[in-house]
């Protein structure tokens, strides 16, 4: 699966810095995400990856710098950022445990429902059409992530991997242009990890650009078109997966092992994942 031809970036972070009191969590971090691109964001614990996501999605207001979606500066408000077209999942699962899978996805769909207060109050025809359309779309998304059969199951009763996929379905329900995934494979077994990798490819095929934070470098290097490395709140290096994987600064600061050993792990991972899995070349083709 190859990325589309290079186009104007859909998401641009320009020299974003975040200072908490006297602590600099991010220092002049820039990022460009192309249409339909999968970008990986890696780095040691405490590197500032989740802080950067929080700046991209309006949870934090950057001390300096700006974030633009399709050339427009994003507001510093999570709800407005979601409406603008940026959705995310979280490192720690944030589902509504006492709601069904379908109800959780409908919560995400609320951002795209346009019924006015009167229609909602009196449950008129416009309200009923909107509710029916939202339910149809939510069921489509559950089918897309492989959870159609458990649409009426409470979220708390789902296996861990299914809860992760349900979070992705809820984020997709907002119809984003950009999807940010914060450690989507954390705690998963190899089979669940591979299923998530294929799901992200499928999401890209729908035209959604994706940014992934992940500690599993084998997963990142076999998934992404482009990889950026954060260390101590600064952008250390960025480029194609092969370039980043072999960069001595990355090996020293993050991987802690020789390039040939890292490559052997990546190739072992892709071989275990199946015959259709290949390591991307420098051009981003799988």
DSSP string of 109-143, one letter each residue: HGGG----HHHHHHT-HHHHHHHHHHHHHHHHHHH
Q: Where in the chain is the domain with CATH 3.40.50.300?
A: 1-85+176-286
Helix/strand number for the chain, H first, E second? 11, 10
Is the CB of residue 15 less than 8 Å from the CB of residue 29?
A: yes
Which whole-number Å values give the CA distances from 278 to 1, 175, 263, in the listed order?
A: 10, 30, 12
Q: What is the pLDDT of residue 7?
A: 62
CATH code that applies to domain 1-85+176-286: 3.40.50.300
- For residue 41, the cross-strand partners are 213, 228
Q: What is the pLDDT of residue 36?
A: 92
Those residues with Cβ within 8 angstroms of residue 57's Cβ, 6 or more apart along the chain or in another chain: 78, 81, 82, 86, 88, 180
Tokens of 77: 């408000």
Phi and psi angles of residue 119, each rounded to the nearest 5 degrees, phi first: -60, -40
DSSP E strand stretches across the chain: 9-20, 23-34, 38-42, 64-69, 72-73, 86-88, 178-182, 209-213, 226-231, 234-239
Is the CB of residue 120 less than 8 Å from the CB of residue 134?
A: no
Q: Which residue has the tokens 């008129």?
A: 124
Q: What is the pLDDT of residue 126?
A: 62
pLDDT digit string (tens) for the chain, length 286 residues = 444 444 679 999 999 999 998 899 999 999 999 999 999 999 988 899 999 999 999 999 999 999 999 999 999 999 999 999 999 999 888 899 999 999 999 998 876 555 555 445 545 556 667 678 889 999 999 999 999 999 999 999 999 999 999 999 999 999 999 999 999 999 899 999 999 999 999 999 999 999 999 988 889 999 999 999 999 999 999 999 999 988 888 877 655 555 566 556 556 655 665 554 444 443 333 3
């Amino acid at each position: 699966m190859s990325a589309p031809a290079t186009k104007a970036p859909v998401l641009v972070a320009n020299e974003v810095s975040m200072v908490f009191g006297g602590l600099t969590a991010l220092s002049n971090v820039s990022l460009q995400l192309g249409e339909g691109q999968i970008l990986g964001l890696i780095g040691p614990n405490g590197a500032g990856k989740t802080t950067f996501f929080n700046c991209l999605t309006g949870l934090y207001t950057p001390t300096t710098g700006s974030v633009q979606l399709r050339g427009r500066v994003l507001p510093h408000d999570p709800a407005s950022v979601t409406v603008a077209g940026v959705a995310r999942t979280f490192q720690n699962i944030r589902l509504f445990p006492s709601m069904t899978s379908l109800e959780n996805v409908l919560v995400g769909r609320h951002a795209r429902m346009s019924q006015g207060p009167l229609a909602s109050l009196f449950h008129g025809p416009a309200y009923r059409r909107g509710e029916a359309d939202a339910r149809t779309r939510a069921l489509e998304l559950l089918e897309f992530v492989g959870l159609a059969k458990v649409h009426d199951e409470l979220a708390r009763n789902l296996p861990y991997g299914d809860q992760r996929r349900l979070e992705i379905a809820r984020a997709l329900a907002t119809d984003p242009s950009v999807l940010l995934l914060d450690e989507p494979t954390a705690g998963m077994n190899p089979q669940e990890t591979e299923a998530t990798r294929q799901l992200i490819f499928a999401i890209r095929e729908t035209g959604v650009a994706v940014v992934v934070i992940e500690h599993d470098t084998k997963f990142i290097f076999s998934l992404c078109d482009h990889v950026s490395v954060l260390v101590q709140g600064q952008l250390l290096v960025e480029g194609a997966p092969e370039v980043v994987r072999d960069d001595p600064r990355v090996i020293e600061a993050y991987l802690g092992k020789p390039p040939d050993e890292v490559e052997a792990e990546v190739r072992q991972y892709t071989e275990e994942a199946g015959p259709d899995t290949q390591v991307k070349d420098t051009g981003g083709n799988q």
